[in-house]
């Protein structure tokens, strides 16, 4: 009965090389809040763990020309404590705050939340709505991928063997933009989302929505970008009629399952309800932002 090999590379390229070159199951260890549970449950039995907590670019946050670059393995708490990011992307922060308890957020990372590819992951709908891109390092170099393309199925992501997400880039925020994330859980905290909705909108000077993105989580085999829902808002003042169309489009986009956390019918209905409520918050934030 052999133990698991444990490495702590200092660069992303070194981590890539370890993962790509491994014989047997190799897993990236960031916060460990998903991986350790999977190991305990016997769902994964790695021969090699590659900890990325020492890789500087993956554990820092930087801004440049209005863009934010978030290290994929920085802890959620560290991200929440970044006042500039909180001011710019309150909806993404809404989502990150819900990833788990304070203890879990002290270790968990957005990169892990996205790449673990639970369809219910909280950060994903908000990042999708934000138009975030993942920066991926791999054996063949670096590439970028929109977050909505990263999850492909329950527990499956689009990364090739040896690839890791090093950071997420959030685009520059136009004026009069606001985002929000809401989820439904039976308790106020500590639950996996039964439905998660991220809405990001930009208003023009007249208060008319000129751009929108809507992300939905926990209602399909992966988190969804829902263009039809966004289209319901664009060109409107985000009034009740537009919100009703938004809700309808969000519900229509769902292809959920019955599981121990919610029924199909419940998810479809509540997706519409939360889309409407999130859009109202996003609109309010857009109006308050200059």
Partner 1 sequence: MAKHHVTTTINGNPVEYLCETRQTLLEVLRDELDMTGTKEGCGTGDCGACSVTLDGRLVCSCLVLGVEAAGKAVGTIEGMAEGGGLHVLQRKFLEHAALQCGICTPGFLVAARSLLEANPDPSEEEVRYWLAGNLCRCTGYQKIIEAVLDAAREMREA
Partner 2 sequence: MLTRTKDEEKTLKVVGTRPVRPDGEPKVTGLAQYGADFSLPGMLWAKILRSPHAHARIRAIDASRALALPGVKAVITGADFMEQPFEYVGPERVAVNYWHMTRNIMAREKALYEGHAVAAVAAVSPAVAAAALKLIDVDYEVLPHVIDVDAAMAPDAPLLFEDMITRGVEPAPTRPSNVSKQIDFRLGDADAAFAAADEVVEMSFKTAPVHQGYIEPHACLARIGADGQGELWSASQGHFVVRAYTAKLLGMEIGNLLVHPAEIGGGFGGKTVIYVEPVAAMLSRKTGHPVKIMMSREDVFRATGPTSGASMTVRIGVKKDGRIVAARGVFRFQAGAFPGSPVMNACMCAFAPYDIANVHTTGYDVVCNRPKAAAYRAPGSPISAFAVESVLDVLAGKIGMDPLALRLKNAARTGTQTAYGPKHAHDGYAETVEALMKHPAYKLPLGRNQGRGVASGYWFNGGGESAATVHINEDGSVVIATGSMDIGGSRASMAMMAAETLGVPYEKVRSTVADTGSVGYNHVTGGSRVTYATGIAVVDACRKIIDDLRGRAAQIWDVNPSGVVWEEGHARPASAEVGDFAPLSLKAIAAKRAVTGGPIVAEAAVNAGGMAPGFATQFCDVEVDPETGAVKILRFVAAQDVGRAIHPSYVEGQIQGAVAQGIGWALNEEYIYDKNGRLSNAGFLDYRIPVASDLPSFDVVMVAVPNPNHPFGVKGVGEVGIVPPMAAIANAIQQATGTRMTELPMSPPRLLAALDSAEGA
Q: Which residues bind partner 1 (CB under 8 A)?
A: 2-6, 29, 31-33, 36-37, 39-40, 49, 51, 53, 75, 77, 100-104, 106-107, 188-190
Task: Indicate whether 98 belongs to the interface with partner 2 (CB under 8 A).
Answer: no
Smaller CB separation from partner 1, 115 or 130: 115
CA distances from 268 to 70, 273, 285 (A): 32, 9, 26
Q: Cα(189)–Cα(101) distance, rounded to whole angstroms?
A: 7
CB 68 within 8 A of CB 169: yes
Q: Are 221 and 230 in contact (CB under 8 A)?
A: no
Give the gyration radius of the chain's Cα atoms: 19
Nearer to partner 2, 58 or 96 (CB): 96
Closer Cβ to partner 2, 84 or 189, answer by number: 189
Q: Which of 64, 83, 187, 205 binds partner 2 (CB under 8 A)?
A: 187
Candidate segments 84-92, 131-139, 145-153, 186-194, binder of partner 2 by CB under 8 A:
186-194
Phi-psi region of 17 (alpha: psi -120 to 50; beta: other; left: phi over 0): alpha
CA–CA dist 146, 9 (Å, integer): 26
Of the candidate residues 192, 203, 229, 254, the single one contacting partner 2 (CB under 8 A): 192
Give the 3-state secondary structure of residue 275: helix
CA 161 to chain centre: 21
Question: Closest distance between partner 1 and the C-beta of residue 2, in Å?
Answer: 6
Phi-psi bin for 70: left (phi > 0), alpha (psi -120 to 50), beta? Answer: beta
Return the number of the residue (38 or 149) whose C-beta is nearest partner 1.
Answer: 38
Q: What are phi and psi of 185, to 5 degrees?
A: -135, 150
For residue 139, state whether it binds partner 2 (rule: CB under 8 A): no
Q: Which does 262 bind (CB under 5 to 8 A by kind): partner 1, partner 2, none?
A: partner 2
Binding mask 235-264 for partner 2 (x = CB under 8 A): -------------------------xxxx-
Q: Cα(152)–Cα(148) distance, rounded to whole angstroms? A: 9
Contact between 228 and partner 2 per CB under 8 A: no
Selected binder of partner 2 within 189, 204, 239, 240 (CB under 8 A): 189
Q: Which is nearer to partner 2, 154 or 186 (CB)?
A: 186
Q: Shortest distance, CB of residue 46 to partner 2, whole angstroms? A: 15
**Looking at residue 159, what DSSP letter applies?**
P
Q: Decide: is 1 part of the binding site for partner 2 (CB under 8 A).
A: yes
């Amino acid at each position: 009965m052999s133990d698991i090999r444990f490495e702590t590379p200092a660069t992303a390229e070194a981590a890539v090389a370890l993962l790509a070159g491994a014989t047997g199951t190799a897993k990236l260890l960031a916060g460990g809040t998903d991986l350790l549970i999977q190991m305990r449950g016997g769902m994964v039995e790695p021969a090699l763990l590659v900890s990325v907590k020492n890789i500087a670019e993956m554990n820092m946050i930087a801004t440049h020309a209005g863009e934010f670059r978030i290290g994929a393995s920085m802890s959620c708490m560290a991200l929440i404590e970044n006042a500039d990011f909180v001011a710019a992307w309150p909806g993404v922060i809404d989502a990150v705050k819900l990833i788990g308890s304070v203890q879990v957020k002290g270790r968990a990372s957005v990169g892990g939340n996205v790449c673990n590819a639970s369809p219910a992951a909280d950060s994903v709908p908000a990042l999708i709505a934000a138009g975030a891109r993942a920066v991926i390092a791999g054996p063949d170099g670096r590439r970028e991928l929109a977050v909505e393309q990263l999850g492909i199925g329950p527990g499956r992501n689009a990364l090739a063997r040896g690839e890791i997400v090093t950071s997420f880039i959030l685009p520059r925020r136009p004026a009069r933009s606001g985002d929000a994330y809401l989820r439904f859980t039976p308790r106020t905290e500590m639950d996996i989302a039964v439905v998660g909705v991220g809405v990001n909108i930009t208003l023009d000077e007249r208060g008319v929505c000129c751009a929108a993105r809507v992300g939905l989580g926990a209602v399909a085999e992966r988190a969804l970008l829902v263009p039809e829902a966004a289209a319901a808002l664009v060109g409107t003042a985000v009034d009740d009629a537009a919100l009703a169309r938004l809700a309808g489009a969000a519900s229509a986009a769902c292809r959920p399952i019955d599981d121990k956390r919610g029924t199909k019918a419940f998810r479809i209905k509540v997706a519409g309800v939360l889309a409407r409520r999130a859009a109202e918050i996003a609109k309010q934030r857009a109006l308050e932002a200059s």
